Structure 1
Amino acid sequence: MRNRRYFHNHRHHHDFRQFHRYFRWVRPGVFLFNLLILYALFSWIGNRAIWFFLAAFIVVKEVIHLIFLRRFEQRLFAPVQELDQGVKEIAKGNYDVTIDCDIPNEVGALIVSFNEMARKLREGEKLQQEYEENRKTLIANISHDLKTPITAIQGHVEALMEGVPDSPERQEKYLKTIQRNTVYINKLIDDLFLFSQLDLGKLALHVQSLSIRPFMADLMEEFKFEVEERQCRFTFKDSLTDAHQVSIDGKRINQAVRNIIDNAVKYGPETGLAITAELYSEGDFVCLSIEDNGPGIPAEKIPLIFDRFYRIDRARTKDLGSTGLGLAIAKELIEAHGGRINVSSRENEGARFTLSLPVERSSHEAHSDH
């Protein structure tokens, strides 16, 4: 079947070339042949008036025919040849093909469709390359980031089994180290699972309408306890004047805020880190700003910090490494709620992240717009 299809296509292509060769070369030959016939008629016909009439008729007919064929070639054969060459390039895997054609006919429409197909193939190839790069980067990060805590856990477990800690205090220290590493591994796995859902567009949000003030108050109290346990200062200020309602997935907003706070702690100073959060409204959005007194972000790196797998500085992270997914996940989670996330920072002067979520509009407000 495949051979029959190939033979049919090859034969069709051969027939097209034959027709093109005929229109391009045979027709001028026919015109010259007609001129020879006219010359012969001139020698045979005695009535010059009849001869001139026949000559004029044949010449005009042939000129019109040649003009028609020339336009036919420009509007059909030449574009089809370019299209044929473009198809061959596509078949070779070269998708950087564009055919210039402004002919308003079916062939022109076909070429427009071909260019659109080539564009989609280029985008598909680029997307596939990005996925491949993401996959390679992800594997490299997983290998690096899992190896460190697993090695630490293994070493401390072996030490405990061998009775190396000679005091309850040292045993407790070993156990806390194991616990911290297991918590990190769990968070890493959660981030990777969430990343895969976001990457495939399969993350389901369980949205519910709730009042933002009590939600954020509870959330900030939770973070205050966790951050202060790590010898950092945490302050929360509620500057809202109204009780705004928002439609959010509380678990995902919690995760987005957590990733930003964890990032501040991770890159912050060993001692004296202070984090300040403020809740306020701005237009149709309710905003949460999270500001720290850490080392800040260099201006040239600010546009990159929300890219997947990007790490500002591996050497500056304390304790464990990171996947480089935290801020990227936070951004995608906020945007999935119809919100936005911005950052402002100066090197050595800390950073300020602002999360904005759309406020629910009351039925009265929605009706007044109409």
Structure 2
Amino acid sequence: MFKCRYPHTSDKNCEDIFLMKLRMIHSHHHHEFQKYHRYFRYFRPAFVLFNILILYLLFSWVGFKGIGLFFAALICIKEIFQFIFLLRLEKRIFAPIEKLKLGLDEIAKGNYNVKVECQTANDLGLLIFSFNEMAQKLYDSEKLQTEYEENRKTLIANISHDLKTPITAIQGYIEALLDRSIKNEGDQDKYLKTIHHNIVYINKLIDDLVLFSKLDMQKLNFSFENVSVRPFMKDFMEEYKFDLEEKNIEFQYGDQLEHYDFVKLDGKRFHQAFNNIISNAVKHGPENNLSIKVTMYRQNQFICLDIEDNGHGIAADKLPFIFDRFYRIDMERKKDYECTGLGLAIAWELIEAHHGEITVSSIEAQSTCFTIMLPVLGDKEGDLTP
């Protein structure tokens, strides 16, 4: 594995530096090779004539004995240089090639989690670096495919459960009504309302599944615009304030921005993500005295929106999973006609499509705070491309 020799430099940056140097060395070696090739082609006859002249002078001045000693010393020097050359050849050529061969054998066996160690800064080093990049991409692709397969199996199991339960209930109530075994009109109305609730739930589940599948396959259309976030959020929060106070829910909104920053967003999709988080707070909050507070502020290059409630909170061991599809904090999967288990997963995907992120913190039995982070464009409108 390539080890960085530069202090205060990440492995990724160090690999980029190493790759850049390899390419520079490759270009340099190519020019040097062309230059030496010309030298050998033009000066080889001169070298031959020079050697003939040296031999003639040796015969003339020292005779056969001196020539023998000269060639003996020359052979010793040649052996020493040959030994050094073979050592360098083994280290710089044969050993890396052997490691590369072993790496290729592992790839052929289906083991993509392999990396060939190499410190040689030549064409072979560049080849091994490219091999490591290829192996890493194959490993990441295989890992992603495995995750997709597991997610697909989980998704099918959850869909089957979430559809079978209301359909079975609808079937039972309809059969009871058709058999006319329910004589009381009040009970009949109760059965019809339950059937209606289950149908509404199925429709919502299907809508969420369609939306989530489009997000998952990156086939959902977005209409991004550069928006001045302060006036946008002011109007946006006025709507929520009216709706929530109609339900006797206390709502507060605070704007702590100092400038009229711009963000790139799709108003419709952002509304869906934000609404899913608010709805989650309403569903799982206390029936009385529920309070929701939204605070907007800037943190480095992000506009942050804290959505805090005074609900029951979330256990620390469950926080890492709340954005998983079909995850419910109530593991017994208590029936909730308004909850499909996809709301927060959809919110995560929608905000991620805005190049933002969602984080969550919670104190059990006290409060939960979701934070939406959107990248700042600046103080004026910029490029409109998504």
TM-score by length of 1: 0.72
Which of 285, 293, 302 is matched with 1:278 structurally?
293
Answer with 54-63 or 76-85: which moved more. 54-63
Distance in structure 1 (CA, Å) of the matches to 2:356 and 2:125: 43
Q: Distance in 2 between matches of 1:194 and 1:297?
A: 26
Residue of structure 2 equivalent to 1:325: 342
Correspondence list, 1:96-107, <5 A: 96-107=113-124
Q: CA deviation at 1:320?
A: 5.3
Q: Give the whole-Å Cα distance in 2 for the aligned partners of 1:145 and 1:49.
A: 100
Cα offsets for 1:280-301 (capped at 9, x unmatched): 432373736241433x111232
Quick one: percent identity of the two aligned structures? 51
- Deviation (angstroms), 1:62: 2.9
CA distance, structure 2, for counterparts of residue 144 and residue 61 of structure 1:
80
How far is 1:99 from its partner?
A: 1.0
- Aligned equivalent of 2:165: 148
- Asked if 1:73 is matched to 2:90, the reply is yes
C-alpha contact (below 8 Å) 2:92/2:120 kept by paired residues: yes
2:155 maps to which of 116, 131, 138:
138
Q: Cα gap change, 1:138/1:218 in structure 2, threshold over 3 Å: closer, same or farther?
A: same
- 1:216 corresponds to: 237
* Higher RCO (C-alpha under 8 Å, 6+ residues apart): 2
- Please tell me whether the aligned partners of residues 263 and 374 of structure 2 are also in contact (alpha carbons under 8 angstroms): yes
- Structure 2 partner of 1:60: 77
Shift of 1:207: 3.7
SS, match of residue 315 in structure 1: coil
Q: 1:339, 1:356 within 8 Å by CA — same for their partners in 2?
A: yes
CA distance in 2, matches of 1:258, 1:172: 32
Alignment of 1:32-47 (within 5 A): none
Shift of 1:123: 1.0
Change (3 A) 1:57 1:139: same
Per-residue deviation, 1:139: 0.9
User: Could you tell me which residue of structure 2 aligns to residue 108 of structure 1?
Assistant: 125
User: Distance in 2 between the 1:286 and 1:95 partners?
Assistant: 40
SS of the aligned residue for 1:205 comes to: coil
- Is residue 157 of structure 2 the alignment partner of residue 157 of structure 1? no
Q: CA deviation at 1:90?
A: 0.4
Q: What letter matches 1:276 in structure 2?
A: S
Mean alpha-carbon deviation: is it higher for 80-89 or for 48-57? Answer: 48-57
Q: Would the alpha carbon gap of residues 258 and 211 (structure 1) be closer, same or farther in structure 2, given more than 3 Å must change?
A: closer
Count of residue pairs the alignment pairs up:
311
Residue 123 of structure 1 aligns to a residue whose secondary structure is helix
User: 1: distance between equivalents of 2:371 and 2:118?
Assistant: 49
Among 184, 194, 213, the alignment partner of 1:167 is: 184
C-alpha distance after superposition, 1:225-281 (max 9, x if no partner): 6xx4xxxx4232344599978754343233223322443354446xx3443233443
Q: CA-to-partner distance for each residue in 1:31-64, whole Å, 9 max, x for gaps?
A: xxxxxxxxxxxxxxx9654433332222222332
- Which of 311, 315, 339 is equivalent to 1:293? 311
Mapped contact 1:286–1:359 kept (Cα < 8 A): no
- 2:217 aligns to what? 200
Q: Secondary structure at the match of 1:285?
A: strand
CA contact 2:224–2:266 (8 Å) conserved in 1: yes
Between the aligned partners of 1:64 and 1:238, the Cα distance in structure 2 is: 80
Q: Alignment partner of 2:148: what SS?
A: helix
Structure 1 unaligned blocks of 5 or more: 1-45
Q: Hey, what's the Cα distance between the residues in 1 that align with 2:109 and 2:65?
A: 62
Structure 2 unaligned residues grouped into runs of 5+? 1-62
Residues 1:251 and 2:272 aligned together: no
Aligned AA (1:163): R
